[in-house]
Amino acid sequence: MPAGSPKKYAYVTLVTNPAYIAGALALIRSLKMTGTFADLVVMAKTGLENIEALEESADRVVKVDPLPLSEEFQQAHSSSAQQARDPFTKGIKPAFHSPLDNFCKLRLWTLDRYERIVFIDADALVIKNIDKLFGYPEFSAAPNLYSELADIHRLNSGVFVARPDLATFRQMLQKLDTPGVFWRRTDQTFLEAFFSDWHGLPYIYNTLQYVYFNLPELWHPTQIRVLHYQYEKPWQTDHPKRKQLQPLIDLWQQVADGGPMPEELPATTAPTR
């Protein structure tokens, strides 16, 4: 690609509150260590303060507004309503997490300066180069695999491949906010319904941290490409699963503090079944 020419591909993450700034910075640093050729973009919620470090680290910071959602929709998908209607039972979402913020993720379909985007949640680290994902079609995502093998049929939106398009974005808004709708796992359930023929990525491109102790037979330290800290975050001081996940927390802290990426992930000590 000639020097100064616009790039066709980008990794994009989303930061909607200050608690995720540290996560996004660690993610960007991990991507840089893989030697990626793509742009590194942060979608930051309008009004978010103290984003100077993001602006220095990323290639672009794009301010995004919350989606224009009806009052009925917002009430149905508030944190309290979500927990009352369909509570999380296998992990604890941090108090700073707002389910409504998840839908801001759809704004990436407006970034049509890019031909392909690989979205990665800000609570993830890229362990090895994954630029090959830009050759995958829309919509490609890895399974929501962290508790049992049956979860392989459900997608996790922590990593996915998209093709930005304003027409697609408008279609999403029309389907998203319809009377009586409830998206059980917010953007994940919506994307699974909108792209009903979604393509499955190998789980190594979005390995959820609970695999470390729940599915040790799937924990392959030399093969995992993306480690996703779903539920409890590695920067939380009141982490309820710190003891179980301490080696992975230490890894995140090492990268966040400017240290090197290890050649392979820590081995699990959980017994295989």
Q: Is the model's pLDDT at 272 over the cut of 90?
A: no
Residue 93 or 13, more confident: 13
DSSP state string for 93-124 = --TT--GGGGGGGGGGGG-TT-SEEEEE-TTE
HSE-CB of 104 using CA atoms within 13 angstroms:
22
Q: Is the model's pLDDT at 232 over the cut of 60?
A: yes
**In the chain, what's the furthest Cα-to-Cα distance?**
54
pLDDT of residue 237: 86
Residue among 101, 90, 86 nearest 145 (CA): 90
81-98 per-position pLDDT tens digit:
666 565 555 555 655 567
Q: Find the mean pLDDT for residues 50-64.
A: 97
User: Domain extents for the chain?
Assistant: 9-256
Q: Is the model's pLDDT at 4 over the cut of 60?
A: no
pLDDT of residue 3: 43
Distance CA 190, CA 86 (A): 15
Give the other-Cβ count within 10 Å of 222's Cβ: 10
H or E segment at 172? helix 166-176
CATH number of 9-256: 3.90.550.10
Confidence of residue 271 (pLDDT cuts 50, 70, 90): confident
H or E segment at 69? none
Q: Find the mean pLDDT for residues 218-233.
A: 96
pLDDT of residue 236: 92
130-181 per-position pLDDT tens digit:
999 999 999 999 999 999 998 888 999 999 999 999 999 999 999 999 998 9
Phi and psi for 130 in degrees, rounded to 5? -125, 25
